[in-house]
């Protein structure tokens, strides 16, 4: 978010949108790369994958109108999954990634 401060005087705002899983043609490839178990685990906590329109609405909100005072913000759009990780209602000890063992 360094650019948010650098560009402040020019009227340019810098924000980031980080979506969770999104129901697009790319999702099956993402599943192959990360693993079905990990994607399904995230979806079990967020309820479902986002639609492209839901992500676009967040981007649109940042781009125009009422968000004109938002600068240097990281907007997570994942149905609450990250909030669950940070607040503890998502038990990361049961995450598929937590079950990976180190192989030498």
Kindly report, residue by residue over 32-72, the tens digit of the pLDDT: 998 999 999 999 999 999 999 999 999 999 998 789 999 99
Confidence of residue 76 (pLDDT cuts 50, 70, 90): very high
Average pLDDT across the chain, whole number? 89
Please state the separation of Cα 101 from the chain's center in Å: 26
24-31: Cβ within 8 A, 24+ apart: 24/52
* pTM across the whole model: 0.82
Q: Which of 34-38, 71-75, 98-102 has the highest mean pLDDT?
A: 71-75
Q: Using CA atoms, how far apart are residues 39 and 71, in angstroms rounded to an integer?
A: 31
Q: Using CA atoms, how far apart are residues 63 and 42, in angstroms rounded to an integer?
A: 28
- Residue 30: what are its φ and ψ, rounded to 5°? -60, -40
Question: Which domains does the chain possess?
Answer: 2-95 (3.40.50.720)
- Res. 23: pLDDT tops 60: yes
């Amino acid at each position: 978010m360094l650019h948010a401060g650098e560009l402040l005087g020019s009227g340019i705002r810098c924000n980031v949108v980080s979506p969770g899983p999104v129901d697009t043609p790319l999702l099956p490839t993402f599943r192959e790369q990360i693993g079905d178990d990990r994607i399904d685990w995230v979806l079990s906590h967020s309820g479902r994958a986002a639609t492209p329109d839901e992500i676009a609405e967040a981007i649109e909100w940042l781009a125009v109108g009422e968000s004109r005072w938002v600068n240097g913000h990281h907007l997570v759009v994942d149905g609450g999954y990250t909030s669950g990780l940070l607040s503890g209602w998502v038990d990361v000890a049961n995450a598929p990634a937590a079950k990976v063992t180190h192989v030498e």
